[in-house]
Structure 1
Amino acid sequence: MSPNRNAPSVYAQLVDLLLIQLSNYRWAWRGTVVTGVVAPVMMLLAIGLPAKQYGTGGLAYVLVGSVVMSLMFQNQNQVAHNFAFMKAMGTLDYFATLPIHRAIVVVGTVSAFFLLSLPALGVTLLLGALFLGVPLAVDPVALLVVPLCALPLAGVGALIGLLAPGPQDVGPIALVTTMAMLFVGPVILPPDTLPDWLMAVSHVSPTNYAASAIQQVLVGPVTGRLWVDVGVLAALTAVVLWVVGRKVPWHAR
């Protein structure tokens, strides 16, 4: 079949793939509860109590870190498992026989799992703010920033799923990647508690910019640093999703 023959519009392709991937809630909701809410809240409880000595500023890092952790588990890790499953089961080869572009498969999958992560993200944020006593100051630009923080993380997850030897290898690789990215830089802990070498390494991690941006738009105050974070996250998103698109097997065409 020619890829251009009777091909639906890009919008129709995206909506169809989005709806297909949203059906993953049937198996993903259990993981959403456990890893999207329970794990971040447990981390918040474990780190939040000792961090009270740092005052509201230190507690804000713990709250933001739990939100970033929820984003990672629900976007990076779930997307990794989904791409590994689609690769192993031949779903990607099936999609390649349809009049759709592989970039739509990537964008539709990433977007669907971000939507599925929103309930867990909201619960984690509200419970964390209540427990830690951190006042929220949600800026309207959060509607742009939060999805932008999720996109490069989901892209990393897609790469893990595509490059892993098999579905059984995705879990350990994704978990190690998540833990490494959480503790590289001031994601959970304030920068003055971290060694200089770790702060230097943090400049290559998307979680560093995601944590900074989320803290500004959810806790405040918004500063000029936000637009640096947004620019870096947008660039990382473009690069990672482009690499994912190149790595998606598209043999049937």
Structure 2
Amino acid sequence: MSHDLRDAEAHEPAVSHDLRGQPPHRQLVDLLLIQLSNYRWSWRGMVVTGVCAPLMSTVGLGLVVKQSAQANLLYVLTGSIVLSLMFQNQNNVAGNFAFMKAVGTLDFFATLPIYRHIVIVATVLAFFVLSIPSLLVTVIFGSFFLDVPLHVSPLAVVVVPLCVMPMAGIGALIGVLARTQAEAGSTSLLVSIALLFAGPVILPPDTLPDWLLAVSRVSPSSYAASAIRQVGFGPVTGQLWVDVGVLATLTLVVLWTVGRKIQWHER
């Protein structure tokens, strides 16, 4: 099978008729499997893309600050982890929604008795599953290269997916609003870069101006980086619950907005 045929097949909306009349949790599982199966040929390229940028960031910035305080190295590593999550989730979700809108997949889903928000959540979860290998590589390599010890809290199982959701939701919103796939890709990349530097994500707070620290209070990447630092490298403090609350609120707001913006022509 040629690569062109594989790529075309990978993007076919492999929708099962079993979705009809199912309860919401069964719809979520089926839609998650559908989205994963649609990328069965291209997931390797996505993993490589999601690994390269964070590793280059870790090596480049790590060499610059390796002789400085340990706290600065921790910011480099957590920033690279957030970058991995954004490249593998926000950017890919944006491209996927732009594609589904362009080829009519969203219109097709709307003809089925399924909830639009389940389509959104299933898509976000699918790309999160695909991002796990690159996330683990970034964490393990970064910890070894920068000599930053891991102290993983059991809370990471809940916190890391919660860090993904608002950024992936932003990607879905970009994909829904963009006029073309190319526009969605360039806009999402620009937003990723802005979020990466909008606060103490990859750089420590004492190196940033006051106005940028103020901006970070409305940036999901700042709260995600703070939460990841605590559950991945310790210690867990009361700030984690603030981070979790903000991320959960942003997730609900963004996903609700995406649901409102999708043209869902039910039949």
TM-score when scaled to structure 1?
A: 0.95
Whether the aligned pair in 2 keeps the contact of 1:187 and 1:208 (CA below 8 Å) is yes
Q: Give the equivalent residue in structure 2 for 1:119.
A: 133
Give deviations 1:28-59, integer Å, cap 9, x for gaps: 4302212x111100011111111123321110
Whether the aligned pair in 1 keeps the contact of 2:93 and 2:124 (CA below 8 Å) is yes
Whether the aligned pair in 2 keeps the contact of 1:25 and 1:116 (CA below 8 Å) is no
Measured after TM superposition, the shift of residue 195 of structure 1 is 0.8
Measured after TM superposition, the shift of residue 229 of structure 1 is 0.2
Q: Distance in 1 between matches of 2:119 and 2:260?
A: 12
Measured after TM superposition, the shift of residue 101 of structure 1 is 1.0
Question: Residue type matched to 1:168 in 2?
Answer: A
Structure 1 segment 206-217 matched on structure 2, within 5 A: 206-217=220-231
Alignment partner of 1:250 is 2:244: no
When the two structures are aligned, how many residues end up with a matched partner?
247
Higher RCO (CA-CA < 8 Å; seq separation 6+): 1
Q: Distance in 2 between matches of 1:209 and 1:147?
A: 13
Q: Give the equivalent residue in structure 1 for 2:210.
A: 196
Structure 1 segment 22-37 matched on structure 2, within 5 A: 22-23=36-37, 24-34=39-49, 36-37=50-51
Report runs of 4+ in structure 1 exceeding 4 Å deviation.
none
Whether the aligned pair in 1 keeps the contact of 2:112 and 2:266 (CA below 8 Å) is no
Aligned CA distance change for structure 1 residues 28 and 84 (closer, same or farther; 3 Å): farther
Structure 1 unmatched ranges of 5 or more: 1-5
Q: Give the equivalent residue in structure 1 for 2:180.
A: 166
Q: Distance in 1 between matches of 2:40 and 2:250?
A: 27
Q: Secondary structure at the match of 2:41?
A: helix
Question: Residue type matched to 2:262 in 1?
Answer: V
Question: Residue type matched to 1:148 in 2?
Answer: L
Q: Give the equivalent residue in structure 2 for 1:3.
A: none
TM-score when scaled to structure 2?
A: 0.90
Aligned CA distance change for structure 1 residues 25 and 57 (closer, same or farther; 3 Å): farther
Measured after TM superposition, the shift of residue 7 of structure 1 is 1.4
Q: Give the equivalent residue in structure 2 for 1:63.
A: 77
Q: Distance in 1 between matches of 2:56 and 2:111?
A: 44
Q: Distance in 1 between matches of 2:76 and 2:104?
A: 41
Measured after TM superposition, the shift of residue 252 of structure 1 is 4.3
Q: Distance in 2 between matches of 1:191 and 1:163?
A: 33
Alignment partner of 1:75 is 2:89: yes
Q: Give the equivalent residue in structure 2 for 1:148.
A: 162
Structure 2 unmatched ranges of 5 or more: 1-19
Question: Residue type matched to 1:189 in 2?
Answer: L
Whether the aligned pair in 2 keeps the contact of 1:129 and 1:136 (CA below 8 Å) is yes
Paired-residue identity, %: 62
Q: Give the equivalent residue in structure 2 for 1:241.
A: 255
